[in-house]
Amino acid sequence: MQFENKIICDGLLNKSLEVKMQKLIIYGPASLMGEIEVEGAKNAALPILTASILAQNKVIITNVPDIVDVKHTIEILKYLGCNVLFENNTVVVDSSSIGRFTIPPEYAKLMRSSVLFMGALLSKFRRVELSNHPGGCEIGQRPIDLHISAFRQLGIEVFENNNRIMCRCDRIKGSEIFLPIPSVGATENIILASIFCDGEVVIKNAAKEPEIVDLCHFLNKLGAKIKGAGTHIIKIEGVKRLNSEEVIHKVIPDRIVAGTYLCAVAACGKEVVLKSVFPRHLDSILHILKGSGCKIKESKNEIWIKKEGRLKGGLRITTHYYPGFPTDLQAPVCSAFAVASGVTIIKETIFENRFKHVPELVKMGADIHVEKDIAVINGVEKLRGCKVFARDLRGGAALFIAGLSAQGVTEVMDADYIDRGYEKIEEKYSLLGAKILREKGE
Ligand code: EPZ
């Protein structure tokens, strides 16, 4: 594979800055039938691409979803001086010419996971500058205080001034860090900053998400020494340098994309097989849907789901850290139970402002009341299509599902939010029999 700076990445920033948001037009009700491959996980691909700057040689990362956040991360890698090629869900990164340790505001603002370049660049250069607080979906305050306090415990000087954060150190100190919240991002940033630490860094109450396990798997292939990924205690033994071999790594399937398909079938029927998926990462949603009248069978890498008749509501669903019910499926499951029988209660415990999809669902005829962190869903027989606005990534996916089950035409405006985390969503669901068009927004 020849290296050249591919047009596909260049100019994305300009394109994304002059956004003319797109819309998806969904002709409901749909009845989903068929088989579909689940793409690679956004929340594993982003930290793994970030970690690729630490490699001593070229890395080849496969099963990378073709989504906006991946392209933004590649923009940052190229801005830092890496050579990157992205084709057919494969990214090749050669970081031998990396030469910068600053992340300019326009990049930092693009997405939350830009914050992970702090840990990686501190390992690479012992210094980093993030010229703006990281962006991403506005689903809550999303502070980075746990990242900053952990860096300080690692002996890193952190200076904050007008939204700019500058960090530097001579060496990374072996330490024991207790996280008051098992934050995914803070756990990943500590791991990335600790690869070359003196002695050992121990993270207590670490996040256990499968995406963190995949990141550690990749880093260990590069020559890092990380133990305990997937548990609440992660140990990183510092190494002097990483291996010089080329590394190939396949990203795990996206459990949130898979969960979204399951919610879509639960909302509008009928019978679908998900392929290239890890059912063990989806226990919580599978348990909920089995208890609501969906027939489900799992094998090693496949899930068969069949839903006939009306979904049975009446459950109480609470979002938790992994392996509990993921906050990223809270909005999609809202849409499924909006047309279920009975009253379903959803409690959001992770983010304080993640019910923005509810007023849009109510426009479609849903009967949902939100009180602080609780949504009470009185299931209705049917939703009706109308114009609705996506306000964030997973909220957009929820409106997409509602459009599939609704009577008539639904226009999901600002669909670009959905493109941040779902690869070619209208093409994939059309393969399952749905009728969807994509158009430039007004
Ligand atoms: C990751 O975000 C995911 N993003 C999110 O997915 C996901 O919702 C979240 O983890 C929880 O599972 C990526 O992996 C790129 P956290 P992250 O740090 O790392 C608080 C999607 O839709 N907190 O685990 O930002 C924070 O405010 C996205 O794909 C602090 O208070 O989440 C939140 O309430 C959205 N201080 C809680 O912890 C900190 O320094 C969990 O956040 C850090 C976090």
Alpha helices in 315-420 (DSSP H): 330-338, 357-363, 393-405, 416-419
- Give dist(CA 259, CA 19) in Å, integer: 29
pLDDT tens for each residue of 255-296: 999 999 999 999 999 999 999 999 999 999 999 999 999 999
Cβ proximity of 161 and 132 under 8 Å: no
Beta partners for residue 93, in sequence order: 59, 84
Q: Could you tell me which residues come within 8 angstroms of residue 220 by beta carbon, excluding any fewer than 6 positions away?
A: 226
Residue 420 Cβ < 6 Å to ligand 1: no
| Alpha carbons 90 and 70: distance in angstroms, whole number | 11
C-beta contacts of 242-245 below 8 A and 24+ residues apart: 242/54, 242/55, 242/56, 242/195, 243/56, 243/57, 244/56, 244/57, 245/57
Q: Indicate whether 14 pLDDT > 90.
A: no
Pocket mutation for ligand 1, best pick of 350, 373, 419, 420 (most atoms within 8 Å of C-beta): 350
For residue 112, give the amino acid letter: R
> In the chain, count of helices (H) and strands (E)?
15, 24
Q: Which two tokens stand for residue 266?
A: 């639960």
Residue 167 has pLDDT above 80, yes or no: yes
Is pLDDT of 195 > 50? yes
Judged by DSSP in three states, 153 sits in helix
For 47-80, the pLDDT digits (tens) are: 999 999 999 999 999 999 999 999 999 999 999 9
Domain boundaries, the chain: 22-39+254-440, 42-250
Q: Which CATH superfamily groups domain 22-39+254-440?
A: Enolpyruvate transferase domain (3.65.10.10)
Catalytic residues: 137
Strands across the sheet containing 270-275: 32-37, 270-275, 302-306, 295-299
| Per-residue confidence (pLDDT) for residue 11, from 0 to 100 | 43
Decide if 22-39+254-440 and 42-250 have a common fold: yes
- Give the tens place of pLDDT for each residue, 220-248: 999 999 999 999 999 999 999 999 999 99
Assess whether the C-beta atom of 138 lies below 6 angstroms from ligand 1.
no
pLDDT at 170: 96
Average pLDDT over residues 135-161: 92
* Cβ–ligand 1 contact at 146 (below 6 Å): yes
394 known member of a binding site: no
CA 147 to centroid of ligand 1, rounded, Å = 11
User: Is 303 marked as a binding-site residue?
Assistant: no
As a whole number of angstroms, the distance between CA 55 and CA 96 comes to 9
Mean pLDDT score, 28-57: 98
Q: Which two tokens stand for residue 43?
A: 């929340």
| CATH number for region 42-250 | 3.65.10.10
Q: State the Cα–Cα distance between residues 365 and 388, nearest whole angstrom.
A: 12
pLDDT recorded at residue 19: 52
- The answer to whether the predicted template modeling score (pTM) of the entire model surpasses 0.85 is yes
If one counts every other C-beta atom within 10 angstroms of the C-beta of residue 2, the result is 5
- pLDDT category, 20, cuts 50, 70, 90? low
